[in-house]
Amino acid sequence: MKKILSLSVLFLLMMGGFFTSKNVSASEGGLPYLVEPILPANQDKGIEHYISVSPKDNSLKQEFEFLVTNKTNKKQTINAKMLNAYTSTNGGIQYTAEETEHNVIIDEKYEMRNYVQVPKKIELDGGESKIVRLKVNMPKMEGTILGAVAFQGEGEVEESNNKGVSFEIKNEINTVYGIAVNFPTTKNYSFKIGKPFLEPMPSYYAVRLPITMDSPLLLKDVQIDYEVEFKGEKLFFSKEKIDFAPMTKTNFSIPFDYEEIEQNKPYILKGTLTYKDKDGVEQTMDFKSQFEYTVKKDKNDNKITKVLKAPIEKGGFPYWILLLFPVIGIVVYMKKKTKYFVLLTDEQPSLIIDKESPNFDKLQPKNKTANDHNYKFVHYYTKKQSEQNGEYYYAYHKTINNKNDRV
């Protein structure tokens, strides 16, 4: 029996930052294809890693070019698609094809996908290079239109056998380049802050704070200072940075960093947004609002929750917890069976960390890892052994944003 698995390796090159995720299939020969932006004549000065132009009027009709090269001796098909820019719930710029309930562009005029035509498939013979042209047509616009183009190709195919079952792993590789078109505008930055709400996550609770930037401008390094109070007592507080994409709304995620939570009781979230306007003058916006934790009921009128690890609930005997005993038993068993290793870092995760990786010796058993808050991310890995050469490596499991991270 043969099963086919798909493993994506994401290579991002946008907004001046370069993020790579190493994979064993690409560790020896590198990427099977190469994408290079051909910077246009009207490229903004000082920007080299993504395409950025600033038209003098409020329309743009132009072609953006990329040189795509097949680095192998086999024929390849590279797929391309346009992505919009959103403000992520963790405070960064996120490039995706579709919005989510927590990441929205509030004005469809600022969706990059509406204005750019991309060839969906690029056929390349072995060693061949082609110039790929993106046709851009943006009429009567103001402010910044932000997005990205993604090139997707196939990496090497790996085969492995485990207890008589053959696995064929197909690696997919994405290369993403940011595109920014900055039209003249007299508008300045403007924010709206909505009512917060509590959302159960797989391993914690998150306070969601709706923040909308209803301005057609890109704004980076917005500082948010916040604290949560209950019955006049400050439970927890933090300071974060947010980058806002133009005309976007995000339900910013604030981990509920306290050991217990009471049902149907008012909690207070308050804080301040601090940023610099177009003239470089510091501006502040205060916010204060109330939220409550309410347990939803199922059809049988039993109080339930899907959260496996969360603050302790106060107020009455939680009869619904009896329903969780079988689940808890399974989870405890799996936790005993699976041993996790932790990497504290400011960098994005790698799918595979082998002996060639500089982070190989930095991984520590979870139960021996200090609660160090000087790093942005906490990456979890499981230790595995290669069936081909018997060497050990670490496979990526999940990531937790360090909620006490300071910039």
Lowest mean pLDDT segment, chosen from 4-8, 86-90, 249-253, 343-347: 4-8
pLDDT of 77-89, one tens digit each?
999 999 999 999 9
Spell out the SS3 assignment of the chain: CEEEEEEEEEEEEECCEEECCCCHHHCCCCCCEEEEEECCCCECCCCCCCEEECCCCCCEEEEEEEEEEECCCCCEEEEEEEEEEEECCCCCEEEECCCCCCEEECCHHHCHHHCEECCCEEEECCCCEEEEEEEEEECCCCEEEEEEEEEEEEEEEEEEEECCEEEEEEEEEEEEEEEEEEECCCCCCCEEECCCEEEECCCCEEEEEEEEECCCCCEEEEEEEEEEEECCEEEEEEEEEEEECCCEEEEEEEECCCCEEEECCCEEEEEEEEEECCCCCEEEEEEEEEECECCCECCCCCECCCCCCCCEEECCCCHHHHHHHHHHHHHHHHHHHCCEEEEEECCCCCCEECCCCCCHHHCEEHHHCCCCCCCCEEEEEEEEECCCCCCEEEEEEEEEECCCCCC
The mean of the pLDDT values for the chain is: 81
Please check the confidence at residue 307 and state whether its pLDDT lies above 70. Answer: no
- Confidence class for position 136, pLDDT limits 50, 70, 90: very high
- The pLDDT of 233-237, averaged and rounded, is 95
* Predicted structure pTM score: 0.68
- Ordered by where they begin, the domains of the chain are 2-183 (2.60.40.10), 191-291 (2.60.40.1820), 338-401 (no CATH)
